[in-house]
Structure 1
Amino acid sequence: MPTTTETLRDALVAARRGKSLIEMASQPVPASFSEGLGVQAEIAKVLKQPEAGWKVAIAEDGLPVAGIMPGPYLKPGDVYEGAIGAELRVEIEIALRLASDVPFRPNQPYSRAELLGHCDKAYLGIEIVESRLANWTGVPFALWLADALGHGGYLIGPELDIKTLDDPTALGCFISLNGVTIYDKPAVHANGDPMAPFLAWANRKQDFMGGLRAGQIVTTGSLCGGVLSPGKGEIVTKLSPLATVSLTLR
């Protein structure tokens, strides 16, 4: 009989290949967050996904976690094709580009300044969250991890000053769909400092998900939560007063 890992891996691989959805209730839940990361790593291996980027986070028990971001990487004005029936959420973020490798170093923790020293660019990033799980509200976090934290695609917007990460609280987040405002609030990061989840992941104790390599994009987490798009069409996002980008959901 297939194991939990094999059953979930095969279901999510088929869903990603077919741009389809699977019912959450029909899937086994990984026994731990680490097992969920292991499933995600297996899926990436089967799909031959490039380790082009990472979305990082801190789980509710304090464990640093990440989702692989293999692409598509969009440009302003591009079209994102979602699966039929999928919920699409928009997140306004600050992304960093690694200029050099960040070696796995569990016994010598990186400092915030040292980690930033490995980065040469910051960008306005827009993540499209599109889970392979239908009706995923309230999904167990270990299952969410297996699905790469619901990653769908990522838009690389204008370059920002890296110092923007030091205090984003003076910024505002705005999102509209087809000219109708769906979000307009001050920027807030769940961990306070947007670097906190990146630093936690750089100082992780296990490395089975893959390394932090030069050229990869690391997104530091949403400044507006996950904003559900009520439909398809033109999305305009602003990190006020710094930058504006648009894309089309289809």
Structure 2
Amino acid sequence: MATTIDTLAEALTAARRGHSLVDISTLPVPADIDAALAVQAKVQKAMGYADAGWKVSIAEGGRPIAAPMPGPYLKSGDTHRSAHGAELRVEIELAVRLGRDMPLRPGNPYTRAELIDHCDAALVGIEIVESRIADWTHVAFPLWLADALGHGSYLLGPEVPFSIFDDVSALTCSVELDGDVLYERPAEHANGDPLVTALAWANRPAETPLGGLKAGQIITTGSLCGGVLAPTLGPVIARLDPVTAISFALA
């Protein structure tokens, strides 16, 4: 008999392959975070995705969590092609690229300085949040986690100095869609220091079904502008002033 994990993984895999959405009422909810991580791993394997990156966060209660971020990885000028009817959100973020593996180290947690030392680049990134679940605004958290925290695609922007993480409040985020400014405010991270989430995941208490942090992977550290809803499709300019402006399109 199929388990909740199997049923959910099959539904999310079919939605990814069909570039479509699945009705939330047809989906079982994982029992807990561990079950959601197991679903992620099954979808990742079924789709043949490379373990290219991680979207990291901290759940209620302080447990570090993450979702695979297989891409597609885009660059300025590219187009994110969404499923028909999908709700899209734009998140301006900072990311790091690992230059060396960070194996799990129980009892000897990595420090912030060691995390930076294991990275060979810091970058500006734009995540397009696009869930496979239709009407996901009231979805149970384990189900949201199972769907890779809504990862849709990721635009890799320019490399920046690691010192950018020290004071994100000095930056300004803005998102413009088809000429209309949807958002313009000082950058703000939910954890203050954006590296808190990446460091928490590096120091997670146990290994997960998708394994650990590997050289070459991208770790995105969380939004500096919340999730800016895109009410329509069209050309977008996302700015992290005074650092960069990234142009792309939603289609």
Q: TM-score range by the shorter chain?
A: over 0.9
Q: Secondary structure at the match of 1:61?
A: coil
- Counterpart CA distance in 2 for 1:150 and 1:215 is 22
Determine the C-alpha separation between the residues in 2 that align with 1:33 and 1:47: 21
8 A contact 1:175–1:236 mirrored in 2: yes
Determine the structure 2 residue equivalent to 1:87.
87
Determine whether 1:196 maps to 2:196: yes
Q: Give every structure 1 segment of 4 or more consecutive aligned residues whose post-TM-superposition deviation is greater than 2 Å.
A: none
Match of 2:13 in 1: 13
Q: Percent of pairs identical after alignment? A: 57
Q: Which runs of 5+ in 2 are unaligned?
A: none
Q: 1-side partners of 2:83 and 2:123: how far apart? A: 27
Structure 2 residue identity aligned to 1:239: L
- The 2-side partners of 1:188 and 1:138 are apart by 24
2:234 aligned residue: 233
Partner of 2:105: 105
Residue 66 of structure 2 corresponds to which residue in structure 1? 66
Separation (CA, whole Å) in 2 of partners of 1:244 and 1:84 = 27
Give the secondary-structure state (helix, strand or coil) at the position aligned to 2:240: strand
The answer to whether 1:133 aligns with 2:133 is yes
Distance 1:138 1:64 in 2: 22
1:111-126 mapped onto 2 (5 Å cutoff):
111-126=111-126
Q: How big is each residue's C-alpha offset from its partner over 1:68-102, in whole Å with a ceiling of 9 and x where there is no partner?
A: 11111101000110000000100000011111111
Structure 1 regions of 5+ residues with no counterpart? none
Distance 1:34 1:49 in 2: 20
CA positional deviation for 1:61: 2.1
Matched, 1:142 2:129: no
RMSD of aligned C-alpha atoms?
A: 0.8
Letter paired with 2:155? L
1:107 to partner: Cα distance: 2.2
Query: Amino acid of the residue matched to residue 217 of structure 1?
Result: I
Equivalent residue letter for 2:79: V
Q: CA deviation at 1:54?
A: 0.5
- Supply the distance in 2 between the matched residues of 1:103 and 1:60 (Cα, whole angstroms): 25
2:216 pairs with 1:215: yes
**Counterparts of 1:233 and 1:242, CA distance in 2:** 23
For residue 166 of structure 1, report the CA deviation from its aligned partner: 1.1
Q: Distance in 2 between matches of 1:55 and 1:178?
A: 28
Q: Is the 8 A contact 1:51 1:210 kept in 2?
A: no
Alignment TM-score, normalising by the size of structure 2: 0.98
Deviates more, 1:85-94 or 1:98-107: 98-107
CA deviation after TM superposition for structure 1 residue 25, in Å: 2.1
In 1, Cα distance between the equivalents of 2:96 and 2:214? 12
The secondary structure found in structure 2 opposite 1:123 is strand
Shift of 1:106: 2.2
Q: CA deviation at 1:67?
A: 1.0
Q: TM-score, normalised by structure 1?
A: 0.98
CA distance in 2, matches of 1:106, 1:143: 28
Deviation at 1:42, TM superposition (A): 1.2
Query: In 1, distance between residues paired with 2:205 and 2:219?
Result: 18
1:243 maps onto 2:247 in alignment: no
SS of aligned partner of 1:76: coil
SS in 2 for 1:192: coil
Find the counterpart in structure 1 of residue 42 from structure 2: 42
Aligned length: 250
Name the counterpart of 2:160.
Answer: 160
Aligned position for 1:30: 30
Query: C-alpha distance in 1, partners of 2:196/2:213?
Result: 16
